[in-house]
Amino acid sequence: MKSRISIAVAGLAVFAAVSMAQAQDLNSMPGVGSLTPGNASNAAGVLQFCINHSLLKAGDAASMKDKLIAKAGGADAAQSDAFRDGASGVVVGSDGGQVDLTKLGSLESDLMQQACSSVLQHASSLL
């Protein structure tokens, strides 16, 4: 019985280590592409997506989203295609490449939270 528990614990430890490694380096995962929005409107939309799905705390993320919208042109920016793409979970890079956050896994997954955190961290460079 002890050996089964040990094997199960070891398996969980390996799974956790792999998950953490993936979350720490999402941009280098095959098929994920860049999680760096190419413009302020898209970044604001992605932050809205993350807030709506409780992947980021609303306070800091909402404040950054508002700053990005103001930088991108105010109310018009919030009505743009780039914002709408972001709000539906699609990160559009400066090269036109796209990453659909909804394809990374369930909304509760560590990968989704890490992706949202990555966008939030990058967002200040767009101001």
Q: Which pLDDT does position 48 carry in this prediction? A: 98
Angstrom distance (rounded) from CA 54 to CA 64: 16
Give pLDDT tens digits along the chain (127 positions).
433 332 333 333 333 333 444 444 445 544 445 668 999 999 999 999 999 999 999 999 999 999 999 999 999 999 999 999 999 999 999 888 998 998 887 766 788 888 999 999 999 999 9
Global pTM value: 0.74
Boundaries of every domain in the chain:
2-126
User: In whole angstroms, how far apart are CA 127 and each of 45, 57, 85, 98, 111?
Assistant: 15, 20, 19, 21, 25
Output the pLDDT for position 11.
Answer: 31
